[in-house]
Amino acid sequence: MRYGFVIDQTRCIGCHACTVACKTEHQVPLGVNRTWVKYVEKGAWPDTKRFFSVMRCNHCTDAPCVTICPTTALFKREDGIVDFDTDRCIGCKSCMQACPYDALYVDPQQHTAQKCNYCVHRVEVGIEPACVVVCPEQAIIAGDLDDPSTKIAQMVATDQLFQRAPEQGTSPNLWYKGVEEANIDPLGAVDPGDGGVWRDPASSWLAVDLTPPSVTNGSASVTPEAPVRIVHDARNAPPRVVYNTDHPMPWGWRVSSYFLTKGIAAGIALALVLAMLAGSGTESSWAQWGAPLVAGLFLAGTGVLLVWDLKRPDRFYYLLTKGNPGSWLVRGAWILSAFAAVVGLWFLAGVFGYDGAIPALAWLAAVLGLGLAGYTAFLFGQAEARDLWQSPTLLWHMLAGAFAAGGGFGLVAGLVFELGETTERAFAWAMIGGAAALGLIAMAELTSRHPTRNIAEAVHHMTRGRFAREWWLGGQLVGVVAPIALGAVFLGGAGLWIGAIGGIAAMAGIWFADDAFVKAGQSVPLS
């Protein structure tokens, strides 16, 4: 048994009965939708036409939201329905990043994710979903795709139907009949920025004021208080989205900051091991207890940011008690816990004089540090809706950032701790090498061919659009050029404070670049 939908857009009249029925059936709050109708208009007035498409969860055979969910709040039933257990959700919003169809939202009352569940409470007693029953044109067809006697199975077998984003490999179980291509292609229509229908209008290239430029009142000429008339030739205008539901960015500055804090924690151990390979001993206060203490503090900051970003922070421990081993959020929690245990033992060994254990603990921390720095690349890889985040260079970016941040922070620590020349120079090389690698990786990404339009659009937003200043000035100038230059000056014989400034620049630049990367990946519409 495999339940699915066919939406016959040749019948749909855009009445929103399905949206209202869904809201009523599931008590969906205002401002969010489990199912909604998207409007797209084509042509120039008076020769315009409006097209409708019903949007909702596709109940995918290979649902990426189920894979990434850290607490199995999302799960696939034996009948093919992708269902949701609100009581297990921690509000991490990772499912929203994995869904290529923008089907999930955060409930403003329960602060958990929600989506269409095919009205399982109705289906289980032999009743069709509420949206199917209420549709006045019978445009929504539901049923068992594996039963050849059902109407939906016959339509899928014989009619010309279309799906949204089949290239994502999710095997969606929702088809459209007679749909306008611009409706199901998120990049097939533009948002004119005028608020669309049923919203307060804003200035846009479509705004036309038909009020005469002046009216006569007796012998006086009175100019009405109205906007200046703007008339544009829209004959060659692209299709326009005039109604859709809002999908704000699920992840913001906390995620960008967590990249940096865990990178510093991991990088401190990595940079110290490089210093040990260069011939530095572990007799200094930094190697004894300073490094593990600071790494632990940044690790704690990482945990605070992660929990703070949850919509249900009171359930954060579900990651360990109800964890989905296939989710990299859970695997990351394991790595965070193991790293915390090792740096804790390292700190205790240094405080209580177990000097012989410190080199082994530092090495173990460095190995775990590679996992700590790099696991986010695999987590972002599970966020299959964000094509920009699927980059094969992301793992190397994370590791390079850890070396740059760890070496840079080590130079800053040298202003307080007595490190020795060998350690200071090793830290400088770690910073320079990490920053140079970040720059090379960035250039490789920018000059390589972008395999999807989603990636091309995201890269445009990051490098030439709304995030360009943050990316170029913050990420590349401050985060790459400055650390390399100041690190080289320090190695040439300048004071340690020069290297420390370079370290601060490296850490700041990493944050700017990662913040632009995180936001640009979410800036491309999915519905």
Residue 219 in this model has a pLDDT that exceeds 90: no
Q: What number is the average pLDDT over the span 150-155? A: 97
Q: What number is the average pLDDT over the span 5-32? A: 95
Residue 204 in this model has a pLDDT that exceeds 50: no
Band of residue 235 on the pLDDT scale cut at 50, 70, 90: low
* Max intra-chain CA distance, the chain: 101
Q: pLDDT tens across 256-277, in order?
A: 999 999 999 999 999 999 999 9
Cis peptide before 46 (omega within 30 of 0): yes
* pLDDT value of residue 200: 62
- Cα separation, 103 vs 142, in Å, equals 18
* pLDDT value of residue 276: 97
What is the CATH number that goes with domain 253-521?
A: 1.20.1630.10
Band of residue 201 on the pLDDT scale cut at 50, 70, 90: low
Band of residue 238 on the pLDDT scale cut at 50, 70, 90: confident
Strands (E), 341-429: none
Band of residue 196 on the pLDDT scale cut at 50, 70, 90: confident
Q: What number is the average pLDDT over the span 406-411? A: 98
Residue 161 in this model has a pLDDT that exceeds 70: yes
Topology, domain 3-184: Alpha-Beta Plaits (3.30.70)
Q: Which of 310, 312, 301 is nearest to 258 (CA)?
A: 301
* pLDDT value of residue 207: 42
Q: What number is the average pLDDT over the span 405-432? A: 97
* pLDDT value of residue 246: 87
Considering the chain, what percentage of its residues have pLDDT values greater than 70? 93
Helix (H, G, I), strand (E, B), or coil: what is residue 501?
Answer: helix
Domain ranges of the chain: 3-184, 253-521
Residue 218 in this model has a pLDDT that exceeds 60: no
Considering the chain, what percentage of its residues have pLDDT values greater than 90? 87
Instruction: For the chain, state the CA radius of gyration.
Output: 28
Band of residue 323 on the pLDDT scale cut at 50, 70, 90: very high
Band of residue 377 on the pLDDT scale cut at 50, 70, 90: very high
The residues pairing with 4 across neighbouring beta strands, listed in sequence order, are 143
Band of residue 199 on the pLDDT scale cut at 50, 70, 90: low
pTM (predicted TM-score): 0.90
Q: Which of 192-196, 216-220, 265-269, 439-443 has the lowest mean pLDDT?
A: 216-220
**Residue 218 CB contacts under 8 Å (≥ 6 apart), including other chains:** none
* pLDDT value of residue 213: 44
Band of residue 46 on the pLDDT scale cut at 50, 70, 90: confident
CB 173 within 8 A of CB 163: no
- Cα separation, 278 vs 284, in Å, equals 15
